[in-house]
Amino acid sequence: MQYKINSEDFGRLSEDLQKEYTQDGDNYILNIEGDDAPTMSKIADLEKKRGIEAEHRKNAEKREKEAADRAAQLQKDLEAAKGDESKIEQVRKDYQAQLDKLKDERAKEQQEFKDREKKEEIRKVAEKISQKFTVPDIMVDQIAQGLNAREVDGKFVVHPVDENGKESLESVADYEKRVLDKPEWKAIIKVDSGSGGGASGNRGGGASGTKWSEMSGEDQVKLRKANPERASVLMKAEGFEP
């Protein structure tokens, strides 16, 4: 079976095989399970990474041209000085000032790239955990707040942080379990999330035993948006008007 097919090829498939695909614009993508599966999320990450690398190559080519232009200009300026030591010294000072400015700009650019790469790695981990919730788009930023990353051998390694923002002794797996075990979030955990204590309940939100009155106002709003039927059941169970 092909991973990606067009609508014409999709129409030729039997109904059973069509169920194995998900529409993506004008094409259809094969649903593949497993950690190594080429999911749309992973493909998007690769495309983003490729875009960043292309940007770096473009910047490197631009800097190379600028360096060649500066060297040529320096040669012209030195020739124009015609042995005048004061003019030659001024040319050298101006050239050094340009080099110092470019050095600072490149250092800033490199730091911005590292900061962006670090943020992307943190978000990837947060997005993976957020998929255990019925409202992943809402949860991803909150989950990311408990994570940070350090650079090891040129790559960023994501780790949890404590209440002071310092690296904790927890592993990412420990942090994920702690997130899924938070009572205030149990109502929006998927039934197959595999959390330590809040994995039971209806798919689409609402852990078994969760009371509407025990939820925060923010989580009540989230549940209403994610699963209005479950929210209505919880409210009626305590005499609230949906």
Domain residue limits, the chain: 40-160, 181-237
- What lies within 8 Å, CB to CB, of 167 at 6+ separation is 148, 150, 159, 160, 161
More confident residue, 123 or 191: 123
Which residues lie across from 207 on neighbouring strands? 201
Radius of gyration of the chain from Cα atoms? 28
pLDDT in tens, 24-69: 777 877 766 544 555 555 556 656 666 666 776 777 777 778 778 8
- Burial category of 164 from C-beta neighbours within 10 Å (exposed 0-12, middle 13-18, buried 19 and up): exposed
Given this model, what pLDDT does residue 198 score? 40
pLDDT in tens, 132-144: 988 888 899 999 9
In this structure, are residues 165 and 147 in contact, taking their beta carbons and an 8 Å threshold?
no
DSSP code for 169 = S
Please give the full DSSP string across 46-114, using - where no structure is assigned.
Answer: HHHHHHHHHHHHHHHHHHHHHHHHHHHHHHHHHHHHTT-HHHHHHHHHHHHHHHHHHHHHHHHHHHHHH
Q: Does the pLDDT of residue 200 top 50, yes or no?
A: no
Q: Mean pLDDT lowest for which of 43-47, 113-117, 136-140, 163-167? A: 43-47
Residue 136's Cβ-side half-sphere holds a number of Cα atoms within 13 Å equal to 12
At position 228, the amino acid (one-letter code) is P
H or E segment to which residue 22 belongs: strand 21-24
CA separation for the pair 214, 173 (Å, rounded): 27
- Beta 147-152 vs 155-160: how paired, if at all? antiparallel
H or E segment to which residue 151 belongs: strand 147-152
* The most confident of 35-44, 116-125, 198-207, 217-226, by mean pLDDT: 116-125
